[in-house]
Amino acid sequence: MRTVVTGAAGGIGSAVAARLQADGHDVVGIDRQEADLTDPGAVERVFAAIGTVGVLVTCAGLTEGAPVHRTDPADWHRIIDANLTSAFLCARQVLPGMTAAGEGVIVTIGSVLGHTVAPGLPAYAAAKAGLVAFTRQLAVDYAAHGIRAVTVSPGWIRTPATTARLGGPEDEARQREAHLGRLGTPEDVAAAVSFVVSPAAALLTATEIVLDGGASAVQAASLLRTAPRAALGLPPL
């Protein structure tokens, strides 16, 4: 059986694909070049070509947004689809094969922003919160078929997308302080996924691993910064 990693062209997805391949998995990476993962027909076609899947890791997503009063409904649906609907469509394709085989692992990549919040990301936060509930539902519904489902939710991970949202060196210093002295890397997330899909995690299912160096235990510094809130049209806290 094969291992599929979505969003594999860069960032977390690329690191996950590389780590699982190093672990001995037969990895197939899917990104925008291979399929539009928000299109049911495109998802069905790409998975039909792959065959039976034993491990699915959904890393595909989109980190962008604006405050609710500036969010166009079309953008809301686009962000929800990229982060949540894509995981549903992929899981829907692999579950029949996993059920027939009596085993399988589905890992969804969430975010601490499904629990805490940062200014101007309402659709993203809603999608990531929904992803946790969706994954737990998978775990419960398919446990009798030997299928596990777990969400890995990173905090600030040093990728181009997250780095662009940091408000300069001072903000990065605050984030490092909240994250055990350093921001996470895609390889940190890949290491967690490697464990989740391994036999060592045989009893791990219907849960979420928060991978943020403890940052979600404290008030997010980014919520208190006046300049980014003003740029988004939000008043100071």
Q: Tell me the catalytic residues.
A: 124
Q: Residue 154's beta-bridge partner residues?
A: 211
8 Å CB contact between 38 and 178: no
139 contacts: CB under 8 Å, gap ≥ 6: 147, 148, 149, 150, 205, 206, 207
CA 72 to chain centre: 23
Residue by residue, DSSP assigns 79-106 as HHIIIIIHHHHHHHHHHHHHHHHT-EEE
Q: In what order do the strands lie in the sheet with 27-30?
A: 27-30, 2-6, 53-58, 104-109, 147-154, 207-211
Residue written as tokens 């909240």? 178
Identity of residue 159: T
Helix axes 11-22, 186-196, angle to 10 degrees: 50
8 Å CB contact between 148 and 105: yes
Taking the CA of residue 135 as centre, how many other CA atoms within 13 Å lie in the half-sphere pointing to its CB? 31
Residue written as tokens 């446990």? 143
Instruction: Give 144: exposed, middle or buried? Use CB within 10 Å, 0-12, 13-18, 19+.
Output: exposed
